[in-house]
Amino acid sequence: MGKFIIEKSSPLRGRIKISGAKNSVLPILAATILTDKSCDINEVPFLKDVETMLELLNSLGAEIIKNKDSVIVSCNKISNKELPYDLVKKIRASFLIAGPVLARFGIVRIQMPGGCPIGVRPVDLHLKGFSLMGAKIKQEHGVIEISTKGLKGADIYLDFPSVGATENIMMAAVMAKGVTNISNCAVEPEIVDLAQFLNQMGAKITGAGSDNIKIIGTDILNGCKHTIIPDRIEAGTYMIAAGITKGDIIMQNVIPEHLKPVTAKLKEMNVMTEETSDGIRVYCGGNLKNVDVKTMPFPGFPTDMQAQFMSLMTVSKGTGIVNETVFENRFMHVGELNRMGADIKLESNSAIVTGVKKTMGTKVKATDLRAGAALIISALAAEGETEISDIYHIERGYYKIEEKLSKIGANIKKIED
């Protein structure tokens, strides 16, 4: 396990290339199970969660050829073995394998997934969808068995627009008999990317990106070539890093539309953005000032940006309130930020952040992926040295973060302990 040592940094300057989206590549890798032909996936960030998903596919018998930033997956020889728990518990996205295996083999046995400790994170909505499509569900000793003699299209209403449930149900439905409608479904850009991938395989999906997706079942899916969309959360994290250091950077490989919920809030705080010929420029438009922010499903402000945004708020003038509505336990970074001198008070699912003139480096711990990113951001502006431990959380979701930040002038190094 390594640590990051970070010193207060001068304003970040330069260009930074954003990697493919972690939350797109994970379901898309799971979807390769749906065909016995090869799938060629480009702009793959080989970060820890992606490696875990590849190991999960490998444990089923998939052949995987990795290149610099692409992967060819071939699931022609896979079988529906029970997935190894030591891999399943590492990432919540492991549960996304359930839909494709069920569609291809008619039965799947899988343990309750793991992932970041940010809430209870049940899978009831995934199971509700499978069950409405005619699957039988048994749960014994932590293992869920889902089986069917043949999935049938169904009308499925999600009580909450869950990203994972929308993806899992979509993947199960592409080869079901008849038509499936998922309403009140998630509309995140990663849903659209998965639908595009599935359609390139021969699926018939319409409406992805709206709150109602229609899937007409088809008998067989083929291999295809696909490029993963840029990671909007990675991009948002570097935008905030630029803002807190009063820097001026250009982010390449971004889709401005996907970043709107974040760029709009940053503008209110005086962190400005403008589209350039090769990406988005981020720069400081004046003194940072505090705002209120409420996390919501897309196109609302992303819960995955909440912790990093809070870091920026800790050194912005005035008081702002962060209201977390998506996960029930996503304030673990608050204690660590306060140890660095921030002034944050918690009241149930809200955090009241009063900006301070300066924060100070100390020893802190990454408690989950985005909380870890928030600590890096704070460390860039804090006086003195910050030592961040448990950085494996950060490496689950950020590709070569220390290299990318160093390249634009951050004073960050990784040490092994």
Which residues does the annotation mark as catalytic?
116
Residue from 130, 327, 331, 399 in contact with ligand UD1 (CB under 6 A): 327
Nearer to ligand UD1, 34 or 340 (CB): 34
The least CB distance from residue 23 to ligand UD1, in Å, is 3
Q: Find the shortest distance in angstroms from Cβ 192 to ligand UD1.
A: 13
Smallest separation, CB 314 to ligand UD1 (Å): 21
* Stretch near ligand UD1 under the rule CB under 6 A, chosen from 52-60, 80-88, 121-129, 172-180: 121-129
Please answer whether residues 108 and 97 qualify as being in contact, where contact means their C-beta atoms are separated by less than 8 angstroms: yes
Asked if 126 interacts with ligand UD1 (CB under 6 A), we say yes
Kindly write down the DSSP assignment for every residue of 124-177, as one continuous string: HHHHHHHHHTT-EEEEETTEEEEE-SS-B--EEE-SS--HHHHHHHHHHHTTSB
- Whole-Å CA distances, 410 to 34, 188, 376, 381, 401: 43, 31, 10, 10, 11
Joined together, the tokens standing for residue 42 give 């480009």
Other Cβ atoms less than 10 A from the Cβ of 356: the count is: 16
Q: What are the residues whose beta carbons fall under 8 Å from the beta carbon of 212, sequence distance 6 or more?
A: 181, 182, 183, 185
Q: Which is nearer to ligand UD1, 115 or 355 (CB)?
A: 115
Closest CA relative to residue 71, chosen from 47, 105, 97: 47
Which of residues 111, 237, 303, 311 is near ligand UD1 by CB under 6 A? 303
Q: How many residues bind ligand UD1 (CB under 6 A)?
A: 22
**By three-state DSSP, how is residue 388 classified?**
strand
Instruction: Give whichever of 12 and 93 is closer to ligand UD1, judged by the CB atom.
Output: 93
122 binds ligand UD1 (CB under 6 A): yes
Q: And the tokens for 25?
A: 């590549």
23 contacts ligand UD1 (rule: CB under 6 A): yes
> Is 52 an interacting residue with respect to ligand UD1 (CB under 6 A)?
no
User: How far is Cα 303 from Cα 296, in angstroms, rounded to an integer?
Assistant: 7
- Return the residue of 43, 193, 231, 304 that touches ligand UD1, per CB under 6 A: 304
Q: Binding of ligand UD1 at residue 160 (CB under 6 A)?
A: yes
Exactly one of 99, 164, 230, 355 binds ligand UD1 (CB under 6 A); which one?
Answer: 164
Please state at what angle helix 22-31 crosses helix 48-60, rounded to 10 degrees. Answer: 10
Among 326, 337, 340, 408, binds ligand UD1 (CB under 6 A): 326
Distance of alpha carbon 294 from alpha carbon 333, whole angstroms? 17
Residue in 78, 93, 175, 353 binding ligand UD1, rule: CB under 6 A = 93
By CB under 6 A, residue 379 contacts ligand UD1: no
Is residue 56 near ligand UD1 by the rule CB under 6 A? no
Rounded to an integer, what distance in angstroms lies between the CA atom of residue 387 and that of residue 409?
18
Interior CA angle at 293 toward 290 and 294, to 5°? 165
Using CB under 6 A as the binding rule, whether residue 176 contacts ligand UD1 is answered as no
- Which position's Cβ is nearest ligand UD1? 164
Binding to ligand UD1, residues 235-254 (CB under 6 A): none
Which of 6, 12, 18, 26 forms a contact with ligand UD1 (CB under 6 A)? 26
- d(Cα 263, Cα 215) in Å, to the nearest integer? 33
CB of 93 to ligand UD1, least distance (A): 4
Annotate each residue in 194-233 with x if it binds ligand UD1 (CB under 6 A) or - if it does not, as one string.
Answer: ----------------------------------------
CB neighbours of residue 260 within 10 Å: 14
What residues make contact with ligand UD1 under the rule CB under 6 A? 23, 26, 92-93, 119-126, 160, 162-165, 190, 303-304, 326-327
